[in-house]
Chains A and B, each alone.
Chain A
């Protein structure tokens, strides 16, 4: 072997030995599988996705214009209130958005309460708020009873089923000071907030269940990792076999 650049040149894409040739082909195949498995699947998810609304969003869309114009029926106020409660029950909601949603929820609850009941309900809510601010722990028995009583008083207004989680959440978002007509900011921003939290990118890959998982979640969180270990194992086995065949001492 002389010392010319051609004799001592390494290039992944231009292998000069049988071993290098085999290694290049193996690496190319593995990288292709790796790439397709990770990014190909995500691209497929992106291509197939459809903006899919939750039932609460449909209820909001149906009632919003009447609510905005204050011409909604009792049933529409109930649907509207429940839709707001569905978003308030989500953990991710920002504090600024919570205030807007609470304005909408409280106004709908007030609309549903009979005139003779409104003053008493406002008083109960204010008392509960005061109690909530004064307790040291949420396991305080007096607080728990007050919360249950307020839930029992207000849940029927929205016709919430006793097994509905929203019966538990409702008293925690009732604010006497927010029982005002919809603020300009609420009217402006509420549709965007509802769309943000109640419309999701779904497809057959997200709606199919596999071993209890939504399929796409299983694929990304479980199967891809199995594949990574498998690809590494395959590379080692194939390389060991080649080295043995070519009698290469590592």
Chain B
């Protein structure tokens, strides 16, 4: 047996090595080495899932109750780090410079709010899903159903960007066009979710985190070393790369530093890359603030993020797992801008042509002469990031449908077999919807994901914030808040879709600017909170049993 394994291993290594000797091309035909790495990693995830299989529903939902805070932090980070973090963030900075940092700040600063306002209390409340909390706290089946539908919509919006990322990476690995790559990638991720979605999720997430972060950091060390920057800590070393991009890099024959296409490491001065809200990027100060704010409150309202706090043993562990989770997330977020900075310089020659921004992480590694197998590992890391998030989101969406909608609202007597069937059907339906939207290529990955954040910020966040911290918030207030939040969301998204279809609606420019699709929560969330408070004050108080529960169980 060992001999067989050894032979297979040697064969794989030789195939990979043969693939690695091919001339570097940014795009092109099927890449054997990266494909093998990608398949190996996906098979590894499934095997780990099988090995740490959840034994029952409770074990699945609360899979992490036996793991450490650091392990739980890794699971939070893996759950969080999607294609938007891995690929999308560098793309945003590559395309719009300092404006892209609003996403970095938004996607990390929200954890502070989540921790100090919610994490411990959510754990103490003791529900499994966001819809469970909403239905219970606001004593309403209709609100539970609304919460479940919103959670599904958020999952779909979040998945669209991920499918885009998977499509781009499959396109890069397989050398097919984007549409075919999205469909193939969608089928693979669906199969992966159906096989591994109910397996040892939390253990898998820790392993996924290690693979994602290692694949992301190795090329960065190589790039900073090769181009003569401070490589020991690339997260600081790239500062000089940013400054060089700002002031310009003259040609220098002595160093002979070149990209993989033979262009010398030099560029004209590009202060627009680092200067705040630069006119060249077309982005304004208001947009920076609105995006950062919307992403931060969206972070504290995302169902699949909130759900992580139900699966730790104690409220104290929930709090500390946020600290570790944020630290692990920051390792990637400190590094992503470095890819954008190197990408800016390495692709500055007009001969490189216009690169797909969302794949700039991989292109940068290629242009920087990083070994093709390591670039393959990087691409596989991007796919892993998307897969880990998508499978979690599809499972969360499917359970919102089967658990919160079908069982709790439609058919309370449904057998476990029937529940499972509905969960699987919901997973397939969601994957079809997401693939269809992803094919339209509406925006960058990071921007598409930001839509989900704004939606969560306008709807779920106000319900949790007031539900936990103000016992006066009642069912009627919650209904008013959710209507206000949804109204703003619908207006913003209608104008966005109309704009993409080439239709001009009344006051189109005004609405599109002030209620942009990736930051409408700056307005929607405060409006929903105000509506909730005003209507709650005007209507019957919250029932005593709910208030008692809040006082005795959540805040004591």
From residue A155, how far is it (CB to closest CB) to chain B in Å? Answer: 12
Q: Mark A126-158, 1 if CB is under 8 A from B, else 0.
A: 000000000000110000100000000000000
Which residue of chain A is the closest to B348 with respect to CB atoms? A91
Give the interface segment out of B2-10, B195-203, B545-553.
B545-553
Rounded to whole angstroms, the CA-CA distance of A194 and B310 in the bound complex is: 55
Q: Which residues of A contact B275 (CB under 8 A)?
A: 200-202, 206
From residue A178, how far is it (CB to closest CB) to chain B in Å? Answer: 15
Task: Describe B's contact surface by its main secondary structure.
Answer: helix
A212 within 8 A of B: yes
B230 within 8 A of A: yes
Contact of B270 among A46, A91, A235 (CB under 8 A): A91
A117 within 8 A of B: no
Contact of A42 among B261, B289, B323 (CB under 8 A): B289
Rounded to whole angstroms, the CA-CA distance of A45 and B101 in the bound complex is: 14
Within 8 A of B (CB), among A44-69: 45-46, 49, 54
Q: Which residues of A contact B249 (CB under 8 A)?
A: 165
Within 8 A of A (CB), among B203-252: 230, 235-237, 239-240, 242-243, 246, 248-252
Residue pair B262, A212 in contact (C-beta under 8 Å): no
Give the interface segment out of A9-17, A70-78, A103-111.
A9-17
Rounded to whole angstroms, the CA-CA distance of A168 and B274 in the bound complex is: 24
Residue pair A92, B547 in contact (C-beta under 8 Å): no
Residue pair A165, B266 in contact (C-beta under 8 Å): yes
Q: Which residues of A contact B326 (CB under 8 A)?
A: 228-229, 232
Contact of A211 among B239, B252, B263 (CB under 8 A): B239
A209 within 8 A of B: yes
Residue pair A34, B112 in contact (C-beta under 8 Å): yes
Contact of B276 among A26, A46, A221 (CB under 8 A): A46
Q: A3-B544, A212-B236, A228-B108 are in contact. Are A45 and B319 (CB under 8 A)?
A: no
Residue pair A12, B469 in contact (C-beta under 8 Å): yes
Q: A38-B109, A211-B239 are in contact. Are A221 and B101 (CB under 8 A)?
A: yes
Give the interface segment out of B41-49, B327-335, B451-459.
B327-335
Contact of A214 among B246, B248, B316 (CB under 8 A): B246
Which residue of chain A is the closest to B293 with respect to CB atoms? A39
Which residue of chain B is the closest to A225 with respect to CB atoms? B330
Contact of A8 among B270, B323, B544 (CB under 8 A): B544
Q: Which residues of A contact B101 (CB under 8 A)?
A: 217, 220-221
Rounded to whole angstroms, the CA-CA distance of A20 and B472 in the bound complex is: 17
B277 within 8 A of A: yes
Q: A8-B551, A92-B280, A221-B101 are in contact. Are A42 and B239 (CB under 8 A)?
A: no
Residue pair A8, B314 in contact (C-beta under 8 Å): no
Residue pair B112, A217 in contact (C-beta under 8 Å): no
Residue pair B330, A91 in contact (C-beta under 8 Å): no
Residue pair B262, A196 in contact (C-beta under 8 Å): no
Residue pair A229, B327 in contact (C-beta under 8 Å): yes
> Which of A26, A167, A217, A239 neighbours the largest number of chain B CB atoms within 10 Å of its CB?
A217
> Which of A30, A31, A38, A86 neighbours the largest number of chain B CB atoms within 10 Å of its CB?
A38
Which residue of chain A is the closest to B321 with respect to CB atoms? A236
Which residue of chain A is the closest to B555 with respect to CB atoms? A10
Rounded to whole angstroms, the CA-CA distance of A169 and B249 in the bound complex is: 13
Residue pair B315, A250 in contact (C-beta under 8 Å): yes
> Which of A10, A12, A167, A216 neighbours the largest number of chain B CB atoms within 10 Å of its CB?
A10
Residue pair A217, B327 in contact (C-beta under 8 Å): no
Residue pair A163, B250 in contact (C-beta under 8 Å): yes
Rounded to whole angstroms, the CA-CA distance of A166 and B348 in the bound complex is: 11
Residue pair A138, B261 in contact (C-beta under 8 Å): yes
Residue pair B239, A212 in contact (C-beta under 8 Å): yes
Which residue of chain A is the closest to B265 with respect to CB atoms? A165
> Which of B264, B285, B350 neighbours the largest number of chain A CB atoms within 10 Å of its CB?
B350
Q: Which residues of A contact B349 (CB under 8 A)?
A: 168-169, 172
Residue pair B322, A232 in contact (C-beta under 8 Å): yes
26 CB-based A-B contacts, threshold 8 Å: A8-B471, A10-B469, A10-B470, A10-B555, A12-B470, A39-B292, A46-B276, A46-B277, A92-B272, A164-B250, A165-B250, A168-B349, A196-B280, A200-B279, A201-B275, A206-B276, A211-B236, A221-B334, A231-B116, A232-B116, A235-B115, A235-B319, A236-B322, A236-B323, A250-B120, A250-B315
Going nearest first, the 8 A-B pairs with the smallest beta carbon separation are A213-B239, A89-B268, A212-B239, A212-B240, A8-B547, A12-B469, A10-B471, A200-B275
Q: A10-B554, A31-B113, A236-B320 are in contact. List 19 more A-B contacts (CB 8 A).
A: A11-B470, A20-B555, A34-B109, A34-B112, A90-B268, A91-B270, A92-B95, A168-B349, A197-B272, A197-B279, A199-B279, A201-B277, A202-B275, A206-B276, A217-B274, A221-B101, A225-B330, A225-B333, A232-B115
Q: Interface on A for B, CB 8 Å cutoff?
A: 3, 5, 8-12, 17, 20, 26-27, 30-31, 34, 38-39, 42, 45-46, 49, 54, 85-86, 88-92, 138-139, 144, 162-169, 172-173, 195-197, 199-202, 206, 209-214, 216-218, 220-222, 224-226, 228-229, 231-233, 235-236, 239-240, 243, 250
